[in-house]
Structure 1
Amino acid sequence: MNLGKTAVVLGGSVAGLCAAGALSPYFDQVLVLERDELPEEAEHRRGVPQSKHPHFLLNSGRRAITALFPGFEDDLVAAGGLHLMPSMDAAYLDREGWSARKRSAMTMVYSSRVLIERVLRDKVRALSNVDLRERVAVRGLATAAGAVTGVEIAAPGGEEHLDADFVVDAMGRGSPVANWLVAAGWPEPEVRTLDAKVTYTSRWYELPARRPASWWWQHLVLMPTQDRGEHPAEHEFLVNFFPIEGDRVIACMGSWGREMPRTAEDFVASARRTRTPLFAAAMDRCTPSSEVHLTRSTGNRWRRYDRWPSPPRGLAFVGDSICAFNPFYAQGISSASSSALLLREHLARARDLDASFGARFLAAQRDLLKVPWTLAMARDRGYECAEGTERLPGWQRRLLAAVSAPAFSLIVGAAREDDVVDEHFAKVFNLDESLGDMMRTPRVLAGLARYCVRSMLGRHRVPFGFDPQAEPPATDYSPPAVAG
């Protein structure tokens, strides 16, 4: 059903491109307005500084983008993306030591953010009624009678007014749309925040022409230590040696509330103090191909437009413009694309874009966003350095900090030995299931209890806690029926 002549998307990053795919079947024309000049190839651009860091494409995001753009995942892999099973292809250092290598329910596609965007741009440019306009600065919204009716822009040819039947805000964390709406008479939206002072720093490397025989792994993950004793600050870093297309990797270190290295010399020195010598040794075998890139803008922020009694007609929000997450948890792309897919589903059922359409969509989007938001809060609230509206009182924070890491290790350990726990944990990680739903599943609770009992008796089915100072074991510990 045609719902209007023109839809306008503010922003041409992942969220905006996905929104264009959602709008295309229901409007005669879709305009995507982007401030940057968009590259033809997979290249960094000024408007996406986080593209220099690792980006996980979770299963929920893969499915949402592929639903919006059929063939997306195949095209991403054809362009160099890597389809891997982390439990088999990643060396994972948990609190006790290296985890066992075994098959699991979780697979992922690894690539750079710039490649994801390039493949998405190709998909959008193939849509006959979508126009990507570059070097366009959005200056404001036109409103009338409780509706957004157009967009004010500054383009290379001068200032313009664009009439619009529907507008999508995909302008990211710094979106000024809320300010424009307040100036037009809408109330200040409630904003929920929690900034755990996460900083992460990355450097790109070329892999060696011949990988060492001991490198059965492609992805290296070091979780922060839970040791309360004396140790280098780097033992509390979350570390990734992240594979991407073109025989390259992104070496990344991040922390909650600590200063991170900014120079190449300091980056290498910090790498040598992490929990295992393997991280720095792997970097030594590779050739650096970039400077060190550091990011601090990592706070969780949710603009609660869903709580407005009368949201504007003809306006929707996707991506960081409505809900931005701590990037450590890899939720951004998947949440943005899932919101765009949800928008398409609501457009498909709509007869018109009346006042109730926006309220219904915001309510459904709220339920979708609760899942990743709750996961982000579950960890970030435990840090003393965290600030914002969602900061817990001291005793609650200390309690959460004391139980969250052991609880996570319990789930990870049970998932090693119980296929049902593993399946649900994979769904939670990939935003296909809430943590609460998982923990209310009787079979999951039984699996966790069984694992606790077997742990107390020392009867583990799958070994773990291999020496961090040694190479991670290459042995496949999958049960024979699965391994075969």
Structure 2
Amino acid sequence: MRAGTAVVLGGSVAGLCAAGVLAKHFGTVIVLERDRLPPDAEHRRGVPQSKHPHFLLNSGRRAIGEIFPGFEEALIAAGGMHLMPSMDAAYCENDGWAPRKSGTMTMVYSSRVLIERVLRDKVRELPAIEIREGVTVTGLRSSGGGTPHGRVEGVEYRTSDGAGHLAADLVVDALGRGSSVVDWLGADGWSAPPEKTLDAKVTYTSRWYDLPPAGRRPESWWWKHLVVTPTQDTGDHPEEHEFLSNFFPIEGDRAIVCMGSWGIRMPREAGAFEEAVDRVRAAAFGRAARACTPTSEVHLTRSTGNKWRRFDLLDVPPVGLVCVGDSICAFNPFYAQGMSSAARSALILGELLRDRDAVGLAFTREFLARQKKSLDVPWMLAMARDQAYDFATGTEVAAPWRRRLAARFSWPIFNAINAASREDAYVEQTFAQVFNLDKSLREMAADPRFWFGIVRYRVREKLGRTVVPGGFDDREDPPGTDYTGYTGPGRAPSAGPDRGDLVGA
């Protein structure tokens, strides 16, 4: 272990993961956090996005579990739910409700505030880490800015007692989308990193609810998570049919009802929110929300553009500084990639600290190269959908012909993958790996076995030889029949779970 000091700017998920890694390699790790951190799972000013649903993808689960052994078990003990989406979630796709059957992917569902509370508990078990609250970082201290010998040497800060500074052998920027680190570097002589941007004008709005008591929930509620994807109907329909909508289960017999869209004005008042919920294209969504009791105001977010600060392209990157989380690469939150990407960057940092003695220029360049390779995976996924919109802005706006292709084929391809996954385990497993950032979109696109499975399913569909039915009427409740292992009409599948497996039970 090095005897030096590492300073982490920000105490959210990215900062806490970085601190957990640094504690294995530095004698002292200091986390500077502007907010006063709550003792329990509560919202705070510095994380406004905590009021919306958060998925922790499997790659992120593994990464955090490696940094903080026992994290997942602690999250579940605190109320998080370990679920299998293909069995525990009802999906309304383009042609109606998808069939329910077991799959390879599982997820842990909880609120963002519970994830952060459990992470803080884990961090506080590590004696090398000190969290200083109520500290606003105001700048960097460095020497030789912009030269091959330049280095970040510490940070400046302000508290209620006045200003101060900290010397550091390594500074980690985890200040999020609004980080001022690039401006501070520029003031000290470093060039600003090139930025890739794409804003598809995504807005999403959420409200928190208490579920009905277990004995008073509708018999049709076999599901725990309810998802309604946007319509692909080009005819006349309510704009709410364009929403991506989630009835998202969290700890404490609660749910977050969230609706989002690309380029549509979203409701931010309670009355308009409830009216929009009722107009979502699957009637079960509105019925579910109406059966619950709202416990919060409506929360709306528009800060959703994709933005990647490409420090890896600088001729002379700042030594002694590492950026993680949204401070280096922020994604459209629809794709649930932020926390997992941040944890993956923290693991890369840990691997390099283990393998290299000095945090010099070679260290910095290798970290940026490895981090770039890791971030390429979620970035490509975000671009694949967000480049389809004519109203998108930024450096990564696609040529008109590419926008037309993306708009024409992205949802149909998604539909084809989902349909083939019902009867082809390889297709299902491959797409789960891509969704969870374990495999890149490029790898999937170049996989002949994957595309063979989709084409074979479509041929069987044309010939009437598919086995598992789909496209159940979205005006009705999602069917709870379990089609796992279903081989056709000769075998009657299970009607699903009993009341003991209802939402939140």
TM-score by length of 2: 0.94
Give the aligned partner of residue 29 of structure 2.
Answer: 30
Give the aligned partner of residue 307 of structure 1.
Answer: 313
Kept in 1: contact 2:206–2:299 (CA 8 A):
yes
Give the aligned partner of residue 100 of structure 1.
Answer: 99
Residue 400 of structure 1, CA deviation: 1.2
Q: Residue 376 of structure 2 is aligned with which of 370, 388, 399?
A: 370
Give the aligned partner of residue 60 of structure 1.
Answer: 59
Distance 1:281 1:480 in 2: 30
Give the aligned partner of residue 474 of structure 2.
Answer: 468
Distance 2:87 2:317 in 1: 47
Which amino acid in the other structure matches residue 206 of structure 1? D
Give the aligned partner of residue 353 of structure 1.
Answer: 359
Which amino acid in the other structure matches residue 27 of structure 2? D
Name the SS for the 1:56 alignment partner: coil
After superposition, residues 66-215 of structure 1 pair within 5 angstroms as 66-145=65-144, 146-210=150-214, 211-215=217-221
After superposition, residues 363-442 of structure 1 pair within 5 angstroms as 363-442=369-448
Distance 2:306 2:382 in 1: 8
Name the SS for the 1:116 alignment partner: helix
Residue 459 of structure 1, CA deviation: 2.0
Q: Does 1:226 align with 2:241?
A: no
Distance 2:298 2:184 in 1: 36
Residue 183 of structure 1, CA deviation: 1.3
Which amino acid in the other structure matches residue 460 of structure 1? T
Which amino acid in the other structure matches residue 147 of structure 1? R
Distance 2:348 2:96 in 1: 41
TM-score by length of 1: 0.98
Distance 2:376 2:336 in 1: 15
Q: Which runs of 4+ in 1 moved over 3 A?
A: none
Name the SS for the 1:142 alignment partner: strand
Query: Residues 200-238 of structure 1, C-alpha deviation per residue, up to 9 Å, x if partnerless?
Result: 000000000032111000000000000011100000000
Name the SS for the 1:302 alignment partner: strand
Q: Does 1:454 align with 2:453?
A: no
Aligned CA-pair RMSD: 1.1
Residue 480 of structure 1, CA deviation: 5.5
Q: Does 1:237 align with 2:237?
A: no
User: Structure 1, unaligned stretches of length 5 or more?
Assistant: none
Distance 1:402 1:455 in 2: 21
Kept in 1: contact 2:203–2:264 (CA 8 A):
yes
Distance 1:45 1:460 in 2: 50
Residue 349 of structure 1, CA deviation: 0.5
Kept in 1: contact 2:467–2:486 (CA 8 A):
no
Name the SS for the 2:404 alignment partner: helix
Name the SS for the 1:29 alignment partner: strand
Kept in 1: contact 2:468–2:486 (CA 8 A):
no
Which amino acid in the other structure matches residue 200 of structure 2? A
Name the SS for the 2:279 alignment partner: coil
Over the matched positions of the two proteins, sequence identity in percent amounts to 62
Distance 2:14 2:333 in 1: 15
Distance 1:226 1:249 in 2: 27
- The farther-off stretch of 156-165 and 355-364 is 156-165
Which amino acid in the other structure matches residue 312 of structure 1? P
Which amino acid in the other structure matches residue 29 of structure 1? T
Query: Residues 407-451 of structure 1, C-alpha deviation per residue, up to 9 Å, x if partnerless?
Result: 111111111110011011110010110111122223212211211
Residue 12 of structure 1, CA deviation: 0.4
Query: Residues 339-373 of structure 1, C-alpha deviation per residue, up to 9 Å, x if partnerless?
Result: 11111111111111121000000000000000000
Query: Residues 159-204 of structure 1, C-alpha deviation per residue, up to 9 Å, x if partnerless?
Result: 1110000000000001000111111111121000000000000000
Which amino acid in the other structure matches residue 192 of structure 2? E
Distance 1:460 1:268 in 2: 39
Which amino acid in the other structure matches residue 60 of structure 2? G
Residue 24 of structure 1, CA deviation: 0.5
Give the aligned partner of residue 257 of structure 1.
Answer: 263
